Structure 1
Amino acid sequence: MSEPYVLVLYYSRHGATAEMARQIARGVEQAGLAARLRTVPAVSADCEASAPEVPNEGAVYASLDDLAGCAALALGSPTRFGNMAAPLKYFLDGTSNLWLTGALVNKPAAVFTSTASLHGGQESTLLSMLLPLLHHGMLITGLPYSEQALLDTRGGGTPYGASHHAGADGKRALDEHEIALCRALGLRLANTAKTLGGH
């Protein structure tokens, strides 16, 4: 049997969500679990278009086996009109077999997002991302207010999950509070998985 891992599954267009994923992975590893970074391909309006099987850069594409075999899941997406981006929703829409078999029941999960504007739908995106996870029977872990950065932040950060204010041009780097909250979310998710026997 393979070593347990936390799947950090995300879609990132300009790199901010990918950086959040890397920070969450650091928190997971701080707890002593492996983090498996995976992404999903963009959705094309051209029905003839296809992405290469392995992306040119960044994390490799997720498979249903990555999802089925994880001890916990961190799910991340940029905000699109207060909701998750279509590529991530498309991937999740293909998880019916995992739902039918209960493969994700009682596994802990957390969510994260990045937005261009400070009040650009971070919380609604995080809450909408939780819906399919609840349908899969996953156990939701958020960020408690015992995390001081949640009180001190001037950028992203919510009790529903980690978030980042990337700025209108998408180039604002994660600040110290956003980084702390990403790592705290990864740490909490991994520790929860260990407590539940995913170690």
Structure 2
Amino acid sequence: MAYRNGTYVAFDGNGTTDPTKGDMKYYALLQSWNASNKFELTFSDSHKKTYQVKDTSSKITLQARLLERMRNSKNMLLIISDYTNWDRGMLNFEIEKAIDHYNIPIIVAYTGYSNILNPRALAGKWPKALYDRIMNQSAKCIHIPFKQKSISAAVSQFSIHNKRDELTSSLSYYTEDTYRGWGYL
């Protein structure tokens, strides 16, 4: 059995490999935060632990590589932006497998927000697989803004290993006091 210490980052690739477009730019920003010693955020990126998958790879090869990465993951950071699609590409596959097969807690990070105090109001942004699992309460999620301090806190706090801090809801979120402490309110 694999040691599950990575953070699996999921986002809608929007059919591009250009790191300056769509959700790819948020993943690139996340990687730069993680690599920099100027930020508190550090995590083990599950995508760095296996061979890269090329655009020419078959869907079966891609899915196998994603599942391998998931087996080594303690949590999933799901980036949601205005570019995120309801039902396109591999994102719904990733969410479904993370929740249904690997019981991975989901950290839902929304771009363009300084705080998330009512996750249900953002339901229109959720990909189909997430929407379905939040509605049937099979997902364990914390909803946060795509901000360095909130990501750092959630990644370190919520994992398959932290039973004490285990998420008990599909609609968990941090309090106003927490956001004030981070300087986001």
TM-score, normalised via structure 1 length? 0.47
Higher normalized contact order (CA 8 Å, seq sep 6+, divided by chain length): 1
